[in-house]
Amino acid sequence: MTYPLGLRLSGLRVLVVGGGAVATRRIPALLDAGADVVVVSPSLSPALAGLAQAGRLTWIARRFEPSDVDGAWLVHAALDDRDAAAAVSAAAHERRVFCVRADDRYAATAWTPAVTRHGPVTVAVLGGGDPRRAMAVRDAIREGFVGVDPATLAGTVALVGGGPGDPELITVRGRRLLAAADVVVADRLAPGLLLDELRPEVEVVDASKIPYGPQRTQEEINRLLVAHARDGRFVVRLKGGDPYLFGRGGEEVLACASAGVPVTVVPGVTSALAAPAAAGIPVTHRGVAHELVVVSGHLPPGHPDSLVDWDAVGRLRGTVCVLMGLKNLPAIVAALLDAGRRPDTPAAVVQEATTGHQRVGAGTLSELVAIAAEFQPPAVVVIGDVVAVTRTV
């Protein structure tokens, strides 16, 4: 039997002996708890070496000596060498310091539990020495644990990126906040299946059905966010992709801030990267593309309100991803060709990426307009040699 206890390690010395895979797994949680981590090991994994170089931990590059335990509040013997781990354990026992052992949990004086975290809440499970049992219980708790206190969210707004289309690509935090919402203001491109998971009493506002032109529509959305929050409700603004990538998230944050409404932004997986990935296209690739530009195509080249330097984009050698560009694609392609982009540059169109209706068309830049004629929004256009990298494998 064990006695469960939460250790407050902020500013306290924790000794980790070993610099391999086990230490790599254990140390991030110690650092997150604020511990002063000292690692004793002749070598370190690349991840730990990076932490040491960044000054996040102290590395003593040699084998363990019993005096290393002096001043430590907790010891981790992250070793698979039983004799070496026993020496660490004996030194800790002599100094009355608890010691976790990776090689033999029954010879240890402390066990690490299976852990799941939700905001400020941490659930730790000990399985009587059976780590698989502990992890199974932990996972069951994680699945059913919302972990959000509604009282802390009342009167606030969260801008949540819903991802590119597949409802499973929303972030864990985004889904958790969505489950706690009183009001959801949803974009047309937000994953619809996420709305089906809401509680029956949640008010859903379809932002695409708000009457007025584009500018007035945004003003009305801003007004709704502020009004519902001022009524003491928790409002989630559910967007497709990422709130800050052509999603007008900045405008909504400013509107909330000027009204004194607290607002949280939850980043989302943007279709600019996810759509090519879902089609098997890496937006960068060693030796092929060292640059990536994401461009809005909702205004054609030459439009007085356009902020895009299409001549500069056309001179790039890397990858160009165009969002909202199908309508203006003939003008966009002409501008890129005029700026010097090769007509035989590989190009692709990805429609409704990551969903069951995903379609992909590929060819060259000179063929792109004809290819795209068979596609409908939402779609992402990808231009660059990366298009041919994996599609020829």
Delimit the domains of the chain by residue range: 13-111, 113-145, 150-266, 272-391
User: How would residue 58 be classed by pLDDT, with cut points 50, 70 and 90?
Assistant: very high
Q: Please, what is the end-to-end C-alpha distance for the chain in angstroms? A: 55
Please answer whether residues 116 and 123 qualify as being in contact, where contact means their C-beta atoms are separated by less than 8 angstroms.
yes
Q: Cα separation of 30 and 25, whole Å?
A: 10
CA dihedral 19, 21, 25, 28 (to 10 degrees): 30
Contacts of 349 (CB under 8 A, 6+ apart): 326, 360, 361, 362, 368, 371, 372, 375, 379, 380, 381, 382
Q: Which amino acid is at 239?
A: K
Helix segments in 104-188, DSSP class H? 131-144, 150-153, 172-179
From 139-148, 156-165, 166-175, the region with the lowest mean pLDDT: 139-148
Residue 146 has pLDDT above 60, yes or no: no
Catalytic residue among 187, 309, 327, 385: 187
- What are the backbone angles phi and psi of residue 121, rounded to the nearest 5°? -95, 130
Contacts of 130 (CB under 8 A, 6+ apart): none
294-353 pLDDT per residue, tens = 999 999 999 999 999 999 999 999 999 999 999 999 999 999 999 999 999 999 999 999
The helix/strand/coil state of 346 is: strand
Q: Cα separation of 183 and 292, whole Å?
A: 36
Please answer whether residues 359 and 373 qualify as being in contact, where contact means their C-beta atoms are separated by less than 8 angstroms.
no
Instruction: Verify whether residue 209 is a known catalytic residue.
Output: yes
Tell me the β-bridge partners of 110: 100
Instruction: Verify whether residue 327 is a known catalytic residue.
Output: no
Closest CA to 247 of 187, 332, 196: 187
Q: What is the mean pLDDT of residues 57-85?
A: 97
354-374 pLDDT per residue, tens = 998 999 999 999 999 999 999
From 195-199, 217-221, 238-242, the region with the lowest mean pLDDT: 195-199
Domain 272-391 has CATH 3.30.950.10: yes
Q: What is the mean pLDDT of residues 169-193?
A: 91
32-57 pLDDT per residue, tens = 899 999 999 999 998 899 999 999 99
Q: What is the mean pLDDT of residues 143-157?
A: 80
Q: Angle of helix 249-258 relative to helix 214-230, nearest 10 degrees?
A: 40
Residue 392 has pLDDT above 70, yes or no: no
> Alpha-carbon torsion 69, 73, 78, 80, what sign?
positive
Closest CA to 174 of 274, 271, 267, 249: 267
The helix/strand/coil state of 323 is: strand
- Joined together, the tokens standing for residue 381 give 């256009």
User: Residue 361 has what pLDDT?
Assistant: 97
Domain 150-266 has CATH 1.10.1060.10: no
Residue 138 has pLDDT above 90, yes or no: no
Q: What count of other Cβ atoms lies within 10 Å of the Cβ of residue 140?
A: 12
Tell me how far CA of residue 251 lies from CA of 156, 183, 248, in angstroms.
16, 19, 5
Q: Which residue's structure tokens are 């992709």?
A: 241
Please answer whether residues 266 and 174 qualify as being in contact, where contact means their C-beta atoms are separated by less than 8 angstroms.
yes
The helix/strand/coil state of 293 is: strand
User: Residue 393 has what pLDDT?
Assistant: 43
Closest CA to 72 of 51, 91, 56: 91
User: Residue 120 has what pLDDT?
Assistant: 73
- What are the backbone angles phi and psi of residue 155, rounded to the nearest 5°? 80, 15
Q: What is the mean pLDDT of residues 128-144?
A: 80
Q: Under CATH, what is the fold of the domain 13-111?
A: Rossmann fold (3.40.50)
Closest CA to 345 of 308, 387, 300: 387
Q: Which amino acid is at 304?
A: P
Q: Cα separation of 90 and 100, whole Å?
A: 12
Q: What is the mean pLDDT of residues 50-71?
A: 96
Catalytic residue among 83, 196, 209, 305: 209
- Joined together, the tokens standing for residue 378 give 């939402």
Same fold, 13-111 and 272-391: no
